[in-house]
Amino acid sequence: MGERDVRMASGAGRWIVFTTVLGSGMALLDSTVVNVALPHIGEDLGADLAVLQWTVNAYMLTLAGLILLGGSLGDRFGRRRVFVTGVVWFAAASLLCGLAPDAGVLIAARALQGVGGALLTPGSLALIQASFHEDDRARAVGLWSGFGGVGAAIGPFVGGWLVDGPGWRWVFLLNVPLALVCVPVALRHVPESRDEAAHGRFDVLGAVLGAAALALVTYALIGSAWWAGAAGVVVGAC
């Protein structure tokens, strides 16, 4: 069975959907689950609200800034390879988050998490597009999108359960066992694919400029929300 020949009803098709949903679900879940844990993180690490906000912002900046680069690397060097690299990177950064002794280390680890998310998220969808037969591709993408939405929606509930149970550090440490399941399944059941038209010299400057532009736009959006809130506080005080 070659590239773009996998059928949804086959065992291979189900494994591909499972793997891509599990991988991208890690990144989507972490984009919402952390918000619930912020008060507990601040209390444990002695960080104020401004510092805590950067545990969210650092992740979003690197994720948004590098996501196009992640997709381009997958097309050129192999979508499964970049996806698996992203899952391993994300899990390693999650472990660092869970073991962070202070807020500075946590923020840096969250930025590294965003890099992993930028590698695995576009790769998960690209693997589905490249693997499934055209008659089943829309259904597979629909399942990927649907389960991803469910993962993002249940994030606050999972975060609350973890914070009230084993503690806020497990909001991040949970990704490690998920990655230990995802990586071997991907290597065994997901076919490798790449864009055969992507050849020649890699445009490093274009990739850097594109990533910087996306990061700056994201930073501007984050900053505008902060300044709007600050202005409201000032007006209210007057």
pLDDT in tens, the chain (238 residues): 445 678 888 888 899 999 999 998 888 888 788 888 899 999 999 888 878 888 888 898 888 888 888 888 888 889 999 999 999 999 999 999 999 999 999 999 999 999 999 999 988 988 998 889 888 889 999 999 888 888 878 888 888 898 889 999 999 999 999 999 999 999 999 999 887 776 666 666 776 777 677 777 767 776 665 455 544 444 444 4
Residue ranges of domains in the chain, CATH in brackets: 11-237 (1.20.1250.20)
Distance of CA 222 to CAs 53, 68, 99, 111, 229, Å? 10, 20, 27, 15, 11
Q: Token pair of 112, please?
A: 């590294």
Q: CB–CB of 114/58 below 8 Å?
A: yes
pTM: 0.84
* 3-state SS class at 162: helix
Rounded CA-CA distance 222/15 in Å is 37
Other beta carbons within 10 Å of 126: 22
Nearest in space to 114 (alpha carbons), one of 219, 15, 193: 219
